């Protein structure tokens, strides 16, 4: 059997191992050490934000961002329904309530017009949410200007879940730096990885330093262990920060290759009836973290699950889009505004292998298998 092709596996440059060896040589094998500060600093410089704290995961980052803006049990949080559960679980950890908002059909991110209508309706009943979590999906920024405007109007905090969007742009700015706080993930499939990890960023120093304290079991500045509030063990290890520091040097190269992979698929599959690619919004760079196709089964002759299974028989991993949160058994009972757009995207979307180490031969093989399927049926 040929070597398995994964959806988006880690891609090391060589520099990560140099940095990890340095951390070993200096014996910084703990959740403290010089690589953490260096990684945070380099990350801040790259995305253009004042403060950052490296964490054990992106999910931890969302949790701490919510706590940092004062979310409490019973508060409502508006969040995109088309996302990964990591955007939403932390809302429930706190005892707050997610309200799921549908996507708009072009960028697939939260629909700003639907959001504005929903907030206007809520304002009339005096029941506004405490915050909104805007997710930037698959490497494309959400349309932030109207979202920021309407949230400022009603005094609602904006948290950006930029887990999938490192390297993308919104009118020249980095998604994740536009709202009150932004969160990134360095999970193994992300554009850069620390094997697992996350980063919480903000221009608000107090918010980031509070998150840093909570992430270290809320230890007070005392020589003994003193605690005045509940904390979490959410710190990133210095070893993983060394990997992240090494990965920082290749972000732009990874974005270039991701976009090249998207272009390859589009060039070689774009003419097939019933198979559609998503455009890039005029407001900024799409990283194409994952190339996603939308399949019209009536015209193509097979649905996304049949294509996925066919690729799987050739040891090639592909994956449906995120199953919307309002369709997840665990989130039944929470309110949803709209939902049909996200459901349709889930029904028809397939993420194709998009790893930056994919060879041209592998890409050609994936393309020819999908083309063959189109002509067979
Ligand atoms: C949109 C989104 N939000 C949150 C997360 C959670 O990040 P992590 O896996 O680092 O906890 C992920 C990815 O894993 C994600 O894709």
Interval 38-66: pLDDT, tens? 999 999 999 999 999 999 999 999 999 99
How many angstroms separate the Cα of 109 from the Cα of each of 141, 189, 199, 274, 292?
A: 8, 20, 21, 23, 14
How does residue 30 score in pLDDT terms, banded at 50, 70 and 90? Answer: confident
3-class secondary-structure state, position 273: coil
DSSP one-letter code for 53? E
Given this model, what pLDDT does residue 377 score? 46
Distance of CA 58 from the midpoint of ligand 1 (Å): 5
CB 278 within 8 A of CB 294: yes
> With 60 as the cut, is the pLDDT of residue 199 above it?
yes
What are the structural domains, with CATH classification, of the chain?
15-248 (3.40.640.10), 251-376 (3.90.1150.10)
Distance of CA 359 from the midpoint of ligand 1 (Å): 27
Q: Which of 343, 258, 316 is nearest to 292 (CA)?
A: 258
Q: Is the CB of 90 under 6 A from ligand 1?
A: no
Q: Is the CB of 56 under 6 A from ligand 1?
A: no
CB 177 within 8 A of CB 192: no
Q: Is the CB of 59 under 6 A from ligand 1?
A: yes
3-state secondary structure 134-187: EECHHHCCCCHHHHHHHHHHHCCEEEEECCCCCCCCECCECCCCCCCEEEEECC
**CA 189 to ligand 1: nearest atom:** 14
Given this model, what pLDDT does residue 2 score? 79
Query: Which pTM does this prediction carry?
Result: 0.97
Distance CA 18, CA 242 (A): 9
pLDDT tens digits, one per residue of 312-350: 999 999 999 999 999 999 999 999 999 999 999 999 999
Bin 236: left if φ > 0, else alpha if -120 < ψ < 50, else beta. Answer: beta
Distance of CA 223 from the midpoint of ligand 1 (Å): 35
Atom 5 of ligand 1, residue of closest alpha carbon: 86
3-class secondary-structure state, position 324: coil
Q: Judging by DSSP bridges, how do beta strands 198-202 and 51-55 pair with one another?
A: antiparallel
CB 134 within 8 A of CB 157: no
The mean pLDDT of 177-189, rounded to a whole number, is 98
Q: Is the CB of 198 under 6 A from ligand 1?
A: yes
**CA 62 to ligand 1: nearest atom:** 4
Q: Which of 47, 71, 53, 232 is nearest to 159 (CA)?
A: 71
Q: Which of 125, 120, 186, 188 is nearest to 156 (CA)?
A: 120
Q: Tell me the best of 86, 103, 164, 200 to mutate to test the pocket of ligand 1, counting ligand atoms within 8 Å of each CB and taking the most.
A: 86
CA angle 94/99/100 to nearest 5° reads 125
Given this model, what pLDDT does residue 1 score? 60
Distance CA 245, CA 143 (A): 30
> With 70 as the cut, is the pLDDT of residue 87 above it?
yes
Distance of CA 6 from the midpoint of ligand 1 (Å): 18
Distance of CA 298 from the midpoint of ligand 1 (Å): 33
Question: N- to C-terminal Cα distance for the chain?
Answer: 25
Q: Is the CB of 352 under 6 A from ligand 1?
A: no
Please give the share of the chain, as a percent, with pLDDT higher than 90. 97
**CA 136 to ligand 1: nearest atom:** 1
Phi, psi of 266 (to 5 degrees): -65, -40
Average pLDDT for the chain: 97
Rg of the chain on CA atoms, in Å: 21
């Amino acid at each position: 059997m040929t070597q398995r092709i994964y959806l988006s596996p880690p891609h090391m440059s060589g520099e990560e191992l140099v940095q990890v060896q340095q951390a070993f040589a200096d014996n910084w094998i703990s959740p403290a050490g010089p690589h953490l500060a260096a990684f945070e600093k380099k990350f801040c410089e790259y995305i253009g934000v004042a403060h950052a704290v490296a964490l054990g995961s992106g999910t931890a980052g969302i949790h701490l961002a919510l706590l940092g803006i004062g979310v409490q049990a019973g508060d409502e949080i508006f969040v995109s329904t088309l996302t990964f559960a990591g955007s939403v679980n932390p809302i429930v950890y706190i005892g707050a309530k997610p309200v799921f908002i549908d996507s708009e059909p072009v960028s697939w991110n939260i629909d700003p017009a639907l959001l504005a209508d929903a907030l206007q309706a809520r304002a009339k009943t005096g029941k506004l949410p405490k915050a909104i979590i805007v997710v930037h999906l698959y490497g494309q920024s959400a349309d932030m200007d109207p979202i920021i405007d309407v949230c400022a109007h009603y005094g609602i905090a904006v948290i950006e879940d930029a887990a999938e969007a490192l390297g993308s742009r919104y009118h020249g700015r980095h998604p994740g730096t536009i709202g009150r706080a932004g969160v990134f993930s360095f999970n193994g499939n992300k554009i850069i990885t620390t094997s697992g990890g996350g980063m919480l960023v903000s221009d608000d120093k107090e918010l980031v330093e509070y998150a840093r304290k909570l992430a270290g079991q809320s230890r007070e500045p005392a020589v003994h262990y003193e605690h005045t509030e509940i904390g979490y063990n959410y710190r990133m290890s210095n070893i993983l920060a060394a990997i992240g520091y090494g990965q920082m040097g290749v972000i732009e190269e990874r974005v270039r290759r991701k976009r090249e992979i998207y272009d390859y698929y589009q060039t070689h599959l774009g003419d097939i009836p019933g198979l559609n690619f998503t455009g890039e919004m005029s407001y900024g760079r799409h990283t194409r973290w994952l190339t996603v196709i939308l399949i019209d089964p009536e015209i193509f002759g097979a649905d996304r699950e049949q294509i996925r299974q066919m690729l799987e028989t050739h040891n090639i991993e592909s994956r449906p889009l995120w199953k919307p949160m309002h369709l997840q058994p665990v989130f039944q009972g929470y309110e949803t505004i709209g939902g049909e757009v996200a459901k349709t995207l889930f029904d028809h979307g397939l993420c194709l292998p998009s790893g930056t180490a994919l060879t041209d031969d592998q890409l050609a093989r994936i393309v020819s298998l999908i083309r063959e399927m189109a002509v067979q049926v």
